[in-house]
Amino acid sequence: MLKPIILLTLILTAGCSDSLSTLTLSVENAHVDLAQQVEGDWDSVCILTPYTTDENAAKVTGLNITDVKGTGIENSDSFQVLVFLKNQALHRKYRVSMENARFELTAPWCFDKEQSYLVAD
């Protein structure tokens, strides 16, 4: 009887998780071309910089706060969150380690897909 309860708990916990998939990017000549590296039907991307609050993330992305909360970015400087949009609706969110790619932004910012060739180290 204990096994079904543990299994159900794990399923419910996983379903409620706001965990992000990790995205590993290729930095070439101090640039990242998101349009070439990130598959999917998206038309813009917003980069949430470290310590971005959920409220500010919602304001920058134009999304409802429930779509952007729980990323952990508000309390961390070890990663950035990339929020991909399609027609101003949430398409996908990813975590990008600062050790992988550090975008040259001092505040959260959004870019059209055509403008997503970005400076990074």
Regarding pTM above 0.85, the answer is: no
Tokens of 84: 């991909």
Q: Which runs of consecutive H residues, i.e. helices, occur in the chain?
A: 2-16, 34-37, 54-61, 65-68
> d(Cα 104, Cα 50) in Å, to the nearest integer?
12
Residue 17: pLDDT over 90? no
Task: Name the band, by pLDDT with cuts 50, 70 and 90, for residue 14.
Answer: very low
φ, ψ at 59 (rounded to 5°): -65, -45
- pLDDT, tens digit (0-9, with 9 covering 90-100), for 98-115: 999 999 999 999 999 999
- pLDDT, tens digit (0-9, with 9 covering 90-100), for 30-88: 999 999 999 999 999 999 999 999 999 999 999 999 999 999 999 999 999 999 999 99
> d(Cα 5, Cα 107) in Å, to the nearest integer?
44
Closest by Cα among 13, 2, 89, 97 to 46: 89
Give SS3 for 67: helix
